[in-house]
Amino acid sequence: MELRPLRAFVEVVRQGSFSSAAAAVSSTQSTMSKAVKQLEAELGLPLLERKGARPSLTAAGEIVYRRAVAMLTEREDLLADLAELRGIRRGTFRIGLPPVGSDALFAPLFATYRSRYPGIEIQLVEHGSKRLEELVLRGELDVAASLLPVSEELEFQEVRREPIDVLLRAGDIRASASALELADLADRPFILFEAGFALNPIILESCRQAGFAPAVAARSSQIDLIIALVAAGLGIGFLPRMIADQRPHPEVRRIPVSGPEMFWQMALIWRRGAPLPHAARAWLTLAGV
């Protein structure tokens, strides 16, 4: 069955006459009439009662009209999907990722994205979350990953929520505990990430709620170095549980923390109200959770 007669039939019903339908699609009345008659001949049933000034639907016409509208809508949706696919065959996708957790969360996604959209050039920038937020707001990145909460000027799609656990040297007297209150750690020196890492404010705010300000023994941007410093006895560290479990160390123990609990909430962010390129929307679709 061809779509052209169906389209003509639907337009006649919508417009209420052959002449109005012809004008709506820049055709002629005779062309519209022939198309509808062709459809009736193919189906073997009359679809319109042509008595009076306004044609009306027969019982068969009611069924065909309903199905024809659905078929034409499906066709438009199909063309829209294909047009969007054509739109992301080429181009650039600018994304920013923080150094903590991105390997586990996004490396598999990059492989899938590349296989589906091999013509897209991916421009990857790595910074701490706060710096990435600034770049997104300035329009220098399409999408970035950042820890929640974020600015109200940004929209976000949460990707992962993990508890933040404490790392203690295996010989620490508290390393055998099944869980610890954060206040129990007030006398321990902290090993934090460098300034600009969004994990630091989460930890420090939780300490404030627990009633103390920690002494900071060292800062680093490298997860493995923080773990090594904990193993050496310099102080205690903190990592999202997922990341800590991926980096076991024989001299380090991971202990859940409460009072208050701390959470690492990773999200993909973009400018609120800003149009997103097709390539960026495709990434968000793949990352949808």
169 and 180 belong to one structural domain: yes
147 and 270 belong to one structural domain: yes
14 and 136 belong to one structural domain: no
180 and 214 belong to one structural domain: yes
80 and 107 belong to one structural domain: no
**d(Cα 118, Cα 109) in Å, to the nearest integer?**
13
Residue 97's pLDDT is: 95
Residue that terminates a domain, selected from 53, 86, 119: 86
Residue 289's pLDDT is: 41
173 and 260 belong to one structural domain: yes
Single pTM value for the model: 0.64
Q: What is the mean pLDDT of each run of 10 residues along the chain (289 residues)?
A: 87 88 82 91 92 86 92 78 68 89 87 87 90 92 93 92 96 94 96 88 94 96 95 97 93 93 93 88 81
Smallest CA-to-CA distance from 43 within 2, 74, 78 is with 2
136 and 180 belong to one structural domain: no
258 and 167 belong to one structural domain: yes
Domain range for 189 is 162-264
Residue 84's pLDDT is: 65
For the chain, how many structural domains are there in total? 3
Residue that terminates a domain, selected from 45, 71, 86: 86
209 and 257 belong to one structural domain: yes
